A and B are shown apart, each in its own frame.
Chain A
Amino acid sequence: MCRIGAIKSKNYLHPSIALKLMRSQQKGHDNSGFAFVMQDLGGIFAAHKDLPILSMAATVEGTRRAEDILNNLGFTRVLQWSPDINHEKGLKIEPMPNYVFEMFQYPKSHKYATKEEKEELLTDAALMLRSELDKDNAGYIYSFWPDVLTLKEIGSPKDIGTYFNLWEETPDLCAKIITAQCRQNTNYDIVRYAAHPFFLDGYTVLVNGENTFFEKNKDYQMSLYKGYIGFESDSQCFLYTLHYINRILKWPIQYYKHTITPLPFDEIEKRNDRDVLLRIKASLAHLEINGPNTILGVLPDGRMLCVCDSKKLRPVVIGRTDETVIMTSEVTGINDILPDRDFEKDIYPNECETIIVENDLTVKRWQQ
């Protein structure tokens, strides 16, 4: 079973904390990879939170092509950062030649564009880059979005950490929100895009468990939005549904739970909002999930989210201090990072809950 973790803090944290969070949960590791998404960035990226950062792993040729595409679209690079690679022998990792983290200025044509127009441009550019690099496996586009940095690689999480020098805390690379997972969805091929967390248009999702309605979800999502592509992992569906509900339909976040795990009829019938819930249940029946899953997510405004399947067949625990909130699969990870917290305040969500961690770290428990 995958172990997943999400950290949100008032302070900037180095990604080594994600490795440490997952270390004691390593019985869930299978050396298929390690990935993290950092949001609300500090360090060298803190000065330009409004500018998009391209997170990419590519060949030399792929890197050149990606930069050419962005240049042709009118983007101009303002900052570049590369991890300090440790070429130690014997590391279990399948590295790509280049890891690119570049910050870009928007094209001049978008100088006065609205936020929505800029975001549309970023989505289209990311899709274009991916499509171009997919042709000859020249690279992988993980995210192209403001204030977001993503790294994914195949191999042992510990060795990936060593390779990218992530065990050593540096002030350059830090963020207030870090989500991480130490294996891929290995039901299918081990490919970089199959590694959680998944990111789209400001939404981040990581999941454990099998999506038994993968085919239904995928069949429906494929025609819903241009960004719903790939499906290398059955868990990408959870991200796309979150994106669809909240960003496309603009429904409040609690309707995510109503969509993926609708209430049983006998409960719906007793409620005042039954007409709405029944319509959602019918209209979005193909976005329902029915497997054992815990879903952790980050919303574009920085709030964190946790929901479980309706049978509550996967574990998750939330531990917190005044400074930090951690959501992860097993409490051992939280014990390592927040040993002095009041563990009586730990939350073990139930099958009906949506947990929202607000930006002031208030934890809201909303019952379906």
Chain B
Amino acid sequence: MATISINQLHLDDLPWIVEYDENKCIQCGRCTASCSFNAIKPVIEKRRKIISKLQKPYFESILVIKQVVDFEHHCRGCGMCSRVCPNDAIKAVRNFNDRYSVRYRAAKADSLKKGGRSNLNTEGRTLDKIKVGRISQMTDPSLDAARHKFELRTPFGRVLAADKLNFVNEYDVLKLTDTLPPNRWIYPVIMGDMSIGAISWRMWEAMAIAAAYLNEVMGIPVRMCTGEGGVPVKLLKSRFVKYMILQIASGHFGWNRILQAMPDMIEDPAGILIKIGQGAKPGDGGLLMANKVAKYVQEIRGVPKADLLSPPTHQGLYSIEESVQKMFLSMNAAFNFRVPVAIKVAASSTSVSVYNNLLRDPYNIVGGFFLDGLAGGTGAAHEISLNHTGHTITSKLRDCYLAAVHQGRQGEIPLFAGGGLGQSGSFAADAFKLICLGANGVFTGRLLLEIAGCVGNDTGKCNACNTGLCPAGLTTQDVCLTKRLDIDVAAQNIVNYFIATDIELKKLMGPVGNSTLPIGRSDALITVDKHVANRLDIQYVC
């Protein structure tokens, strides 16, 4: 009887099993070369051969591809092997019997880490239960989405109530007398905050190129948030920095260089985003594994090659009042009060309290409230955070908007919503619905990676951004892997996606008869789900 070691990790424990057909394989080696996780390897197998009953069986050695069975090199299902195989001889197949998460914790005495997004989608998508149901028919005309002139702009920066503008009337012409908080009009979709480090410099560059192209060639004033991982000094000193929202989070990574570059900056940045929290892993700080801390990441952030664990809170900031006084004032003062300073928080049961406090801040210093829902992406996180913490975006965005309505202060601190937008394929629809529910705009990061070629999905495919071995060259600093990403093509794809989104937003604005953004126009929405209707205060239909 053969000895069985039941405690040993086995192929059947892994989430993905590589299926290989040696009869189709031509032994070209492309699959093993392409696998960034080293999850497959060529091995020599001994085979017993029988040609005919007249001849004795004999043994021969052949080359086959075998899956590696260990915790570090298990297959993530990215599918690169099947992409490169000329004969369809190999593919990764999902193992529905997998026991990996149990085995990992039991073997390593450590929490399981992942990248990408939560793969435990028990909530269902509220936005998919909502339709744009108020269509202009006869009482007012629908607009022609292709020919009509639409304006897709939203304010970014603190908006004061009209009676606080302190205009003076000079011969029936109003004049500004006070210096007012900075306020910019931008496209209602912001490229989300992903740092150099979390994503490859090539992906970051592709986004930056796309942002510049959209602004300067397409006339679409899209802003990109840098993430907290520093900004190339050349970019800081160029005119393109005006399209960038600089992020500061609890690690303050990269700000030495930003501060040093300030005297030489020829343009103000588009804004500052103070990241308090992130929807995918709320209450947890940033996490950049050491294997992604490449030399240039060390330089730009000013850090050693080590796991970079940002604290979950900004040191010294333990209340909203302190945040306002210290962080916001200093950040506003840094650019002489010319640049909007916004805050990004993870959606939470407490979001309305935070938003209310910021609305009531007497300094009028908060220029935007970015609310990040639990379905957002992340470069690396503990799986327990990713799958089991967070708050859905839709109702919390609505709560914040209605809290502002209750005080007659809607729009004073523009609301931006994010977290899993475009998850079911319709980013523009998600954006439009959130705008109708009260968002001034939306932000997205993960979608940009998907546009650029990310092969991961919400059901466990790949999601290995934390390993630094991204097979698409997006969330890795490995020189060979990043080469897989064609910067220009990625930038072009992002630009194209924004153009498509622009068209699709208009295709939704036209039928409701609006040529400007229907912010807070929830009467345009309907749902067949009574609970959703009740919670969001929109029309229930059946």
A interface residues (Cβ-Cβ under 8 A, vs B): 187, 209-210, 212-216, 219-220, 222-224, 244, 248-252, 254-255, 264-265, 273, 275-276, 278-286, 288, 290-292, 310-311, 313
Contact = CB atoms under 8 A, between A and B. Distances in A.
Given A291-B513, A311-B515, A252 B410 contact: no
Given A223-B407, A244-B162, A279-B180, 4 more contacts: A212-B136, A212-B140, A290-B515, A290-B518
Contacts of B175: 276
A264 B165 CA distance: 21
B139 interface: yes
Contacts of A215: 520-523
A287 to B, nearest CB: 9
A223 to B, nearest CB: 3
B167 A276 contact: yes
Given A187-B139, A283-B159, A219 B514 contact: no
B169 A290 contact: no
B139 A248 contact: no
Contacts of B143: 311
Contacts of A273: 173-174
A61 to B, nearest CB: 36
Interface string B179-191: 0100101000000
B382 to A, nearest CB: 41
A279 B140 contact: no
Contact of A286 (B169, B512, B520): B520
A231 to B, nearest CB: 13
Contacts of B183: 278-279, 282
B411 A286 contact: yes
Interface in B139-177: 139-141, 143, 148-149, 151, 153, 155, 159-163, 165, 167, 169, 172-176
Interface of B: 136, 139-141, 143, 148-149, 151, 153, 155, 159-163, 165, 167, 169, 172-176, 180, 183, 185, 405-408, 410-411, 512-516, 518-523
B520 A252 contact: no
Nearest to B149: A264
B136 A219 contact: no
B185 A279 contact: no
A37 B379 CA distance: 66
> Main SS of the interface on chain B?
loop
Given A213-B521, A216-B521, A265-B151, A251 B174 contact: yes
Q: Which 9 A-B pairs have the closest CB atoms?
A: A223-B408, A210-B140, A252-B172, A282-B155, A215-B523, A210-B139, A283-B162, A282-B159, A290-B514
Given A215-B523, A216-B521, A288-B516, A283 B161 contact: yes
A249 B522 CA distance: 28
Given A248-B163, A292-B140, A219 B405 contact: yes
A224 B405 CA distance: 11
A276 B175 CA distance: 7
A220 B410 contact: yes
Nearest to A273: B173
Contacts of B176: 275-276, 279
Contacts of B149: 264
15 contacts: A210-B513, A212-B136, A213-B518, A214-B523, A216-B520, A219-B520, A255-B174, A264-B151, A265-B151, A278-B185, A279-B160, A279-B176, A283-B162, A284-B162, A290-B516
A213 to B, nearest CB: 7
A269 B295 CA distance: 44
Given A212-B140, A290-B515, A313-B141, A265 B153 contact: yes
A293 B167 CA distance: 28
Contacts of B520: 215-216, 219, 286
Nearest to B404: A219
A18 B329 CA distance: 60
Given A285-B155, A310-B515, A292 B410 contact: no
Contacts of A214: 523
A250 B512 CA distance: 33
A71 to B, nearest CB: 35
Nearest to B516: A290
B319 to A, nearest CB: 28
Nearest to A250: B169
Q: Which of A279, A310, A313 has the most CB of B within 10 A?
A: A279
Q: Which of A219, A248, A282, A311 has the most CB of B within 10 A?
A: A282
Given A275-B176, A278-B183, A282-B411, A291 B153 contact: no
Nearest to B515: A290
B491 to A, nearest CB: 25
Given A224-B408, A292-B141, A252 B163 contact: no
